[in-house]
Chain A
Amino acid sequence: MTVRPGSFAFVALVCAVFLPCTPRVAPAAAAGKSLGVVYADGRQTEDVALAKLDKDSDELFVSAYDLARIFKATKFWNPDNRKLVLRIGNHRYMLTLDTRVVVVDETPVLLRMNVRFDEGSIMIPLEFIEGVLAPRSVEKIALDRTRLLLSIGSPEYNLTGIEIVDDKDGTRALLTLTDELLYHIDSDTPGILRLKIYGGRLNPLKFTMPEGKGLLNRVRAEQVEQDAYLFFDVKKTVLRYRVEFEGEEAASAAATGKKAPRKLVLFLERAKLPEIPGADFAGKKMVEMLDEGAKRKMIEPVRRIAVDPGHGGSDNGRMSSSGVKEKDVNLAIALMLRDRLKEELGVDVVMTRTEDVLVPLDERVEKANAAGAQLFVSIHCNGWFTSDAEGFEVFFLAPARNEEEARLGRDENASVSYEKQNASEESGGDIDFILWDMVQNEYLTESSDLAEMVQREMGTSLGIRNRGVKQTGLRVLKGLKMPGVLIEAAFLSNPKEEQLLLSPEFRERFIESAIEAIRKFQGRYPGKG
């Protein structure tokens, strides 16, 4: 039973391991069932094919190949004695084909069904996950058989509950959060409200509701990397909606540092006949439901845009293995973007640099602010320690990154409002008292919208992996008096993407999608200032 490294059996086993475990689709297609797998470690949610192999039992089987991938198992297959060994965590599981026996470390346990061989794959009953793996796993493994959902790992959830309440005014979805998180909602898909909660961690099993209540048909939840998504499928009779933290006015109490669970509320207002024109919700941000996505009137378009080519001068940024410098690629793309923005959108463009010089981050922000730009777009290329990482990503600034800054901001704001009460009407300049972080926070919604738009356009046209929108404390976006995003076009550390970054076709697609996103942004926002 023990296989020693170096022995013939070991070599045979290692060599043979991948052969019978190649991926396949056929058996599952026959059963037509799949298992949704939700990871807590940042891996994408995926669907794994299942197969029903026994006509007398409803038990479903998963291939050893999929199982090993899901649980990051090291697998060994010995065709001579038809034994499969999976090493998962600190345990070793030995399964034998056409038997019910699983030897866990040294102890045998019995399954109800045999491990099978079907259409070129070793097939393992789901019972193995539930009864054998789950009790021995350090990570939490939860298999929901009715919904065919498997969740692995138990992160510290900061979205802990959902409750749907329906009354005569409309329907409320109350989400319990342990922390106040930033969110973004859009209705770009007709009938679906997409709520993205930045940094939200939820258990999709708990938040997915196949049957809703009132104006909600159903709710679907997803964890995509660091962010949580809730998709609310709403009825046509929803007049408008709004999202806010419950008791927003009492939020100042948070300054005491007490961390109590907050409720984020999505309110769907029921259309009434005759319609009361929002009397109950005066002053609240209600958004009209539109059939064809968020079509908003263009009142006063963005007229001046700051374009920021990252790095420069002595700061090369990332250097590719063949010696291509990020600063040069950034500048070339940014200059191209400048010309095309002028041409196609007829806007003014302010550049933070037009040559190979080092411009401090603060100065870039100052330049954009001083020029009265209404949008800030920073162009970068990414880099990683190996050549594996790929794709583009879009960033916008996170709110006050550390507690001290946030507290300072609150204190300063409190003193500003105090001074205002005691001073004459004309006392201006209070903006100077507010930390820059707080200034940028004013543009969070716009920045996140712009980031989402850029991501969507580039996602369809760049043809490389879409790493999504991320919210972090990027230094160059701090202190901007306008919405701002930073785009990491692709990875210079990846030779394939390096070639793309140098190719005119890829650059063209990049510029086109950036312009398209800005055009959409112009349509949605009148522009500040």
Chain B
Amino acid sequence: MIRTKGWRSIAIALAMLAVIVAAIYLVPRLRTKGPAEVQKVSEEMRAVTIFFGNKSADGFVSETREVPVAQGFEDQVKLVLAELIKGSRDSDKISAMPDSTALIQVFWVEDTQTLVLDFNNALVANHPGGSAGEYYTISNVVKTVSANFPQVARVQFLVEGNQVESIAGHYAVDKPIDVKKWR
């Protein structure tokens, strides 16, 4: 009995270990690549422009950054927006991205020139609120995208794969935003 019980616990432990190993191995591969996992094929860098809000929320301030040249367009967008999310060291440049915001996936819809940005729930859940805050959250993304990727005509925000009516209750983001018309 005791012997069987011992084997059983060893078997369970082994099975659990196998699951953990499989998870460690598979999960990153099943998930879409996050900014950190974007493959860098070369050390080539590209200068990009990131738009922030200023301290008094009444204008934009830009910053030029160097990011690695990514293999695909979607990966490049991720690298650029990761810089916006990271924010600036300059205290007058406010990244209006709520705490812990992350860009989960990026899709490019060629025929409608729509860039679909799928953020995590922090974009909505951690948004501090206020129409100025919300305006710059949307604008910083839209302006940064349009400054670096002129082929993008529309930006669609998603939150964990779903359309949301708005980020903080003032601006509609359920439909794609026309980057030229947005202001």
The 6 closest A-B pairs by CB, nearest first: A383-B130, A42-B59, A318-B129, A402-B178, A389-B57, A318-B130
What is the CA–CA distance of A493 and B176 in the complex, to the nearest angstrom?
29
B166 within 8 Å of A (CB atoms): yes
B183/A326 in contact, CB under 8 A: no
Q: Which residues of B contact A311 (CB under 8 A)?
A: 169
Beyond A317-B169, A474-B131, 10 additional contacts (C-beta under 8 Å) are A42-B60, A318-B129, A319-B128, A386-B55, A388-B55, A388-B56, A388-B57, A393-B132, A472-B171, A491-B130
Interface residues of B in 116-152 (CB under 8 A from A): 128-133, 135-136
What is the CA–CA distance of A160 and B74 in the complex, to the nearest angstrom?
36
Q: How far is the CB of B95 from chain A (nearest CB, A)?
A: 8
B94/A385 in contact, CB under 8 A: yes
Interface residues of A in 391-449 (CB under 8 A from B): 393, 395, 398, 401-405
What is the CA–CA distance of A382 and B169 in the complex, to the nearest angstrom?
12
User: Please, could you name 29 A-B residue pairs with CB atoms under 8 Å apart, sorted by A?
Assistant: A226-B183, A311-B169, A316-B129, A317-B168, A318-B128, A318-B133, A326-B129, A380-B170, A382-B133, A383-B128, A383-B131, A384-B132, A385-B128, A386-B55, A386-B94, A401-B181, A402-B175, A402-B177, A402-B181, A403-B181, A405-B175, A472-B183, A475-B166, A475-B170, A475-B171, A475-B172, A488-B130, A488-B131, A491-B130
Q: Please name the residue on chain A nearest to B54 by beta carbon.
A: A42
Q: Which residues of B contact A493 (CB under 8 A)?
A: 128, 130, 133
- Highest count of chain B CB atoms <10 Å: which of A226, A318, A384, A386: A384
Q: How far is the CB of B130 from chain A (nearest CB, A)?
A: 2
B25 within 8 Å of A (CB atoms): no
Q: Which residues of A contact B154 (CB under 8 A)?
A: 402
Q: Please name the residue on chain B nearest to A406 by beta carbon.
A: B181
B178/A401 in contact, CB under 8 A: yes
A136 within 8 Å of B (CB atoms): no
Q: B159-183 toward A: CB 8 Å interface, digit per residue (1/0)?
A: 0000001101111100111101111
Q: A272-303 toward B: CB 8 Å interface, digit per residue (1/0)?
A: 00000000000000000000000000000000
Q: Please name the residue on chain A nearest to B112 by beta carbon.
A: A404
What is the number of contacts between chain A and chain B, taking CB atoms within 8 Å? 118
A381/B166 in contact, CB under 8 A: no
Q: A451-478 toward B: CB 8 Å interface, digit per residue (1/0)?
A: 0000000000000000100001111101
Q: Which residues of A contact B176 (CB under 8 A)?
A: 402, 404
Q: Which residues of B contact A385 (CB under 8 A)?
A: 53, 94-96, 128, 133, 136
Q: Which residues of B contact A404 (CB under 8 A)?
A: 175-176, 178
Q: Which residues of B contact A188 (CB under 8 A)?
A: none
B61 within 8 Å of A (CB atoms): yes
Q: Which residues of B contact A492 (CB under 8 A)?
A: 130
Q: B39-70 toward A: CB 8 Å interface, digit per residue (1/0)?
A: 00000000000000111111111000000000
Interface residues of A in 482-507 (CB under 8 A from B): 486, 488, 491-493
Q: Which residues of A contact B59 (CB under 8 A)?
A: 41-43, 225
What is the CA–CA distance of A382 and B170 in the complex, to the nearest angstrom?
11
Q: Please name the residue on chain A nearest to B95 by beta carbon.
A: A385
A366 within 8 Å of B (CB atoms): no
A381/B169 in contact, CB under 8 A: no
Which residues of B approach A to under 8 Å, CB–CB? Answer: 53-61, 94-96, 128-133, 135-136, 154, 165-166, 168-172, 175-178, 180-183
B178/A382 in contact, CB under 8 A: no
A384/B60 in contact, CB under 8 A: no
Q: Which residues of B contact A361 (CB under 8 A)?
A: 165-166, 169
Q: Please name the residue on chain A nearest to B175 by beta carbon.
A: A402
Q: Which residues of A contact B172 (CB under 8 A)?
A: 401, 473, 475, 478
A191 within 8 Å of B (CB atoms): no
What is the CA–CA distance of A380 and B165 in the complex, to the nearest angstrom?
18
Residue tally, chain A, CB below 8 Å to B: 45
Q: Which residues of B contact A225 (CB under 8 A)?
A: 58-59
A106 within 8 Å of B (CB atoms): no
What is the CA–CA distance of A473 and B53 in the complex, to the nearest angstrom?
19
Q: Which residues of B contact A467 (CB under 8 A)?
A: 58
Q: A9-28 toward B: CB 8 Å interface, digit per residue (1/0)?
A: 00000000000000000000
What is the CA–CA distance of A177 and B169 in the complex, to the nearest angstrom?
33
Given the interface pairs A199-B183, A389-B55, A402-B177, the reply to whether A326 lies near B171 with Cβ below 8 Å is: no
What is the CA–CA distance of A380 and B171 in the complex, to the nearest angstrom?
14
Q: Please name the residue on chain A nearest to B177 by beta carbon.
A: A402
What is the CA–CA distance of A402 and B156 in the complex, to the nearest angstrom?
12
A170 within 8 Å of B (CB atoms): no
Q: Please name the residue on chain B nearest to A39 by beta carbon.
A: B59
A383/B133 in contact, CB under 8 A: yes
What is the CA–CA distance of A478 and B129 in the complex, to the nearest angstrom?
20
Q: Please name the residue on chain B nearest to A387 by beta carbon.
A: B55
What is the CA–CA distance of A492 and B55 in the complex, to the nearest angstrom?
15
B94/A390 in contact, CB under 8 A: no
Q: How far is the CB of B122 from chain A (nearest CB, A)?
A: 14
Q: Which residues of A contact B135 (CB under 8 A)?
A: 472
A317/B178 in contact, CB under 8 A: no
Instruction: Among A393, A405, A473, A491, point to the contact of B171 (Cβ < 8 A).
Output: A473
A355 within 8 Å of B (CB atoms): no
A383/B171 in contact, CB under 8 A: no
B178/A42 in contact, CB under 8 A: no
Q: How far is the CB of A317 from chain B (nearest CB, A)?
A: 5
Q: Which residues of B contact A319 (CB under 8 A)?
A: 128-129
What is the CA–CA distance of A478 and B154 in the complex, to the nearest angstrom?
20
What is the CA–CA distance of A318 and B132 in the complex, to the nearest angstrom?
11
Q: Which residues of B contact A380 (CB under 8 A)?
A: 131, 170
Q: Please name the residue on chain A nearest to B133 by beta carbon.
A: A383
What is the CA–CA distance of A389 and B154 in the complex, to the nearest angstrom?
29
Q: Which residues of B contact A488 (CB under 8 A)?
A: 130-132
Q: A42-84 toward B: CB 8 Å interface, digit per residue (1/0)?
A: 1100000000000000000000000000000000000000000
What is the CA–CA distance of A315 and B132 in the complex, to the nearest angstrom?
17
Q: Which residues of B contact A474 (CB under 8 A)?
A: 131, 170-171
B56/A310 in contact, CB under 8 A: no
Given the interface pairs A361-B165, A398-B183, A475-B171, the reply to whether A382 lies near B130 with Cβ below 8 Å is: yes
What is the CA–CA distance of A87 and B59 in the complex, to the nearest angstrom?
22
Q: How far is the CB of A394 from chain B (nearest CB, A)?
A: 11
What is the CA–CA distance of A473 and B166 in the complex, to the nearest angstrom?
12
Q: How far is the CB of B155 from chain A (nearest CB, A)?
A: 10
